[in-house]
Amino acid sequence: MRQYLAVILTAGFGLAVAAGMTAFSILFGPKKKTAVKQEPFECGMPPAMEPRGMAKVNFYLVAVLFVMFDIEIVFLYPWAVSFRELGAGAFYAMGAFLAVLLAGLVYAVKKGALEWD
């Protein structure tokens, strides 16, 4: 239990901050909705132009791919640091993990997710 104390304290602090922010928002946030409060805010100035429409799906696909490969590094780095102690089972497990990610990347490239018009 003692080895998890730092993780428990960090998670507790994060939850307390999130709960506090939510409570302050409810307590001190705006109570009445008016037309001025519902207007889009651009640095204190009136909006320069109307919105141009919806963003392309490619933007979201690239964002999801970025997050996916960012998370891959989160798993890959500790595995690489302790590679010698983990053994062959961890090597095959990481190989399977990388194969699934590679298959996802190949699928995204074949579907044209990274092509911009």
pLDDT the model gives residue 24: 95
- C-alpha to C-alpha distance for 63 and 51, rounded to whole angstroms: 21
- pTM over cut 0.75: no
pLDDT the model gives residue 22: 96
* Cβ-defined contacts of 105-113 (< 8 Å, 24+): 105/65, 105/69, 108/61, 108/65, 113/58, 113/61, 113/62, 113/65
Regions of the chain where pLDDT drops below 70: 42, 44, 46-47, 51, 55, 117
pLDDT the model gives residue 1: 79
pLDDT the model gives residue 27: 93
Domain with residues 2-110, CATH architecture: Up-down Bundle (1.20)
Q: Where are the domains of the chain?
A: 2-110
pLDDT the model gives residue 98: 92
pLDDT the model gives residue 20: 97
- C-alpha to C-alpha distance for 25 and 29, rounded to whole angstroms: 5
